[in-house]
A and B are shown apart, each in its own frame.
Chain A
Amino acid sequence: MSTAAPTHEHGHDHEHHGPAPGLSRWILTTNHKDIGTLYLLFSLLMFFIGGAMALVIRAELFQPGLQIVDPHFFNQMTTMHALVMIFGAVMPAFVGLANWLIPIMIGAPDMALPRMNNWSFWIMPFAFTLLLSTLFTAGGGPAGGWTLYPPLVLQTGEAFPFVILAVHMMGASSIMGAINIVATILNLRAPTMTLMKMPLFVWTWLITAFLLVAVMPVLAGAVTMLLTDKYFGTSFFNAAGGGDPVMFQHIFWFFGHPEVYIMILPAFGVISMIIPTFARKPLFGYASMVYATASIAFLSFIVWAHHMFTVGMPLAGELFFMYATMLIAVPTGVKVFNWVSTMWRGSMTFETPMLFAIAFVILFTIGGFSGLMLAIAPADFQYHDTYFVVAHFHYVLVPGAVFSIMAAAYYWLPKWTGHMYNEKLGQWHFWLSVVGINVLFFPQHFLGLAGMPRRIPDYALQFTEFNMISTVGAFIFGISQLLFAYNVIQTIRGGAKATDQVWEGAKGLEWTLSSPPPYHTFQTAPRVD
């Protein structure tokens, strides 16, 4: 049809094709910018819901003794907090960034599969409504931890099948989002945008999308087996029926470890975009960044059992998983060295995105150090399932993944909205966040080393001081996120006009567009030199 249509009419068509009016714009949209916005706002909402659950946990742990919640509800909070933050906040935020940015970074007119894009977003609100509603069912929501280990998870009440269905829906959404990203990057690049010219954010998302396609079906399989074990008389994980409860852990972590990198590789991409801009200097070691990302992705498939050092694997298995896990430090180190070298002899300024990026490099690296410690299997026999682990993964996920998302929001918000955000408020948000997060999570290292297990609602008296400090940090961090939400909303509503370039040192196709960009961009492929 398009070949038959006269060129004049074709061009005419586009000039008048803007967003649909009213609510139907958002429900029916196939536009990558609208869908990106929906994903980002959804993840912001989930960030606050998951954060409120974290504050319930921290409030209960402020003092020894049971004060605020019942232990069973406490377990529901730890389980839901993790599921909401992982599947509802971090992952959708990165998919939102991918939707907004990948097409305008590679010179594509939209995502390759725009209708599926709409569907993959609109599954999410239903999945999370379902998941959160289980808190109100008889017996409460899931309370066996987000890792859903049997046999414990099979003790879940009426919530169980709804939780499994919600996980399936989230998985389906992620798989569709990932397929869309792969299809877009491989097919819709501007002809001159060769693979090794792609911005690093696009590269990291390409690799992440392959990880997602590979492992989300594994999770789907694992939870389906749980479902049949509970309702259809199978014994996949039931020892009494000849099954194997440890097999679930192997399958789960075969998904779960790549999942960890699904949440951090796009963050690496974001940071690799922001540091060069504010250092006014090209990214150091672009090619090695790409290879390091690919190496990390490969290694993520062969290290899963380091989450299971205490289940009683054979010695050979423990040695293999210890060595393989330690290897990840090499490509990760390359990345950190490259970021520092990018800053070296640059001409730096410290706007909010750069502050978050620098904090990311430092605090993510601290999380990496504790990760290296956890890789040492004999020491892990002590660290495993303690607050040391809690501190470790929160360091890589909060000042890691979440800070990168905030850096990205501040960095591209002027491009998306056409308005500058309030810099002073941004700086306040940054400093409160960075102080809050360290007061919150640093003492948890001490708690874990001193012997406090994870996921307990009450604790022995020697853990009191650091738990109190940690809770104070949690409330500082949690409340300061309201500044972020306020700043984002104010920027969407108005503010100083942003230039097209926005940042002095910004390079890349997205900065050649107007701020905000027109509803449809790159109808004709741009040239990249």
Chain B
Amino acid sequence: MAISRIAQGGVVALGSALWGWSTGAYAEYELNMPQGVTSISKDVYDLHMLIFWICVAIGIGVFGVMFWSIYHHRKSRGAVAAQFHESTVIEIIWTIIPMAILIAMAVPATGTLVRMADARDAELTIKVTGYQWRWQYDYLDQGVSFFSTLSTPQAQIRNTASKGEHYLLEVDNPLVVPVGKKVRILTTAADVIHSWWVPDLGWKKDAIPGFINEAWTQIDKPGIYRGQCAELCGRDHGFMPVVVKAVSPEEFEQWLVQMKAQANPQTAQNKPVSLSATVPGGQTL
């Protein structure tokens, strides 16, 4: 009795949660993974939902049989125990069917993984270096480099000021990238292991001292996308957000010029940067 009541309660709770999610009744918080703003992040989201619904279907089947049994095959209802205890046929069936489901899931997962691993032909390469506790971004071919640090005031963290909209997810200098271009991101670290993560891009990549890891993204939609360091990196691990600002290619070029002017005022008026001249410098960084 009690168990079927809790089951009912669970179904009601799950149903209302799904309803709230589908109707967007809760603007404040999210129940599900974001679909993100890249083709990869959408593929990842689809994989996530595919396996989620497969699990839900299996769960309904298995728990359904179980609850039916709990309700009907109870001693208080006068059930008399059968004494069967094996069936080779059934056991082979319920080994083969899960195998088939797994293969069906492995196929699209493999495709997405292969696409994610292919960082060739990127138009822009940015090296991301993790420090305790901030990020450094190097635009290797453009000679632009800067640090990106949490900009939330201590007063908000210490609860002496009211918290802003992007509490803990705001930085002084965001990473700026152009939309519609394939951007290669190289991650490494200078002290301990960090992990660079923006949920809207669909992946995270560890930043490991002594290693350079490679990943890529191509953002479709201009906007500001926020994430955090995902690998425990010490005291202020919770206080090193990642903010990515995706802008149109023209805006990006303007921003680059401005950054170079700031970094090197005398040469800022020079000719446009040539790729061949800066590549060697980038490689030795």
Contacts and interface: CB of A to CB of B under 8 A. Distances in A.
A286 interface: yes
Contact of A287 (B31, B33, B86, B156): B86
Interface residues of B, number: 96
A457 B31 CA distance: 21
Interface stretch (A226-234, A375-383, A513-521): A375-383
Contacts of B203: 310, 378, 381-382
A260 interface: no
Contacts, number: 291
B250 interface: no
Interface in B1-56: 2-3, 6, 28-34, 43-44, 47-48, 51-52, 55
A281 B69 contact: no
Given A286-B86, A346-B73, A454 B232 contact: yes
A192 interface: no
A151 B211 CA distance: 13
**Majority secondary structure of chain B interface residues (helix, strand, loop or mixed):** mixed
B86 A365 contact: no
A180 B232 CA distance: 37
Interface string A230-253: 000000000110011110000000
Interface string B214-247: 1000000000001111111111111100000000
A267 interface: no
Contacts of B210: 239-240, 243-245
B95 interface: yes
B106 A311 contact: no
Interface stretch (A83-91, A124-132, A316-324, A470-478): A316-324
Contacts of A135: none
A145 B69 CA distance: 43
A32 to B, nearest CB: 30
B85 A152 contact: no
Contacts of A460: 166-169, 226
B75 A373 contact: no
Contact of A281 (B83, B117, B193): B83
Interface of B: 2-3, 6, 28-34, 43-44, 47-48, 51-52, 55, 58-59, 62-63, 65-66, 69-70, 73-76, 79-87, 90-91, 94-95, 98-99, 102, 105-106, 109-110, 112-114, 116-117, 156-159, 163, 165-169, 187, 191-193, 195, 197, 199, 202-206, 208-211, 213-214, 226-239
10 smallest beta-carbon distances between A and B, as pairs: A239-B210, A456-B238, A312-B213, A450-B30, A381-B203, A369-B55, A347-B81, A282-B85, A345-B82, A152-B192
Given A311-B208, A384-B204, 16 more contacts: A143-B234, A246-B208, A280-B81, A284-B86, A285-B85, A343-B66, A346-B81, A373-B48, A376-B48, A378-B44, A382-B202, A446-B30, A453-B229, A458-B157, A459-B238, A460-B169
22 contacts: A64-B168, A66-B157, A151-B193, A152-B192, A239-B210, A310-B206, A315-B113, A322-B109, A334-B95, A348-B74, A350-B74, A376-B47, A376-B51, A379-B48, A381-B205, A385-B230, A449-B33, A450-B32, A453-B228, A462-B28, A462-B29, A505-B81
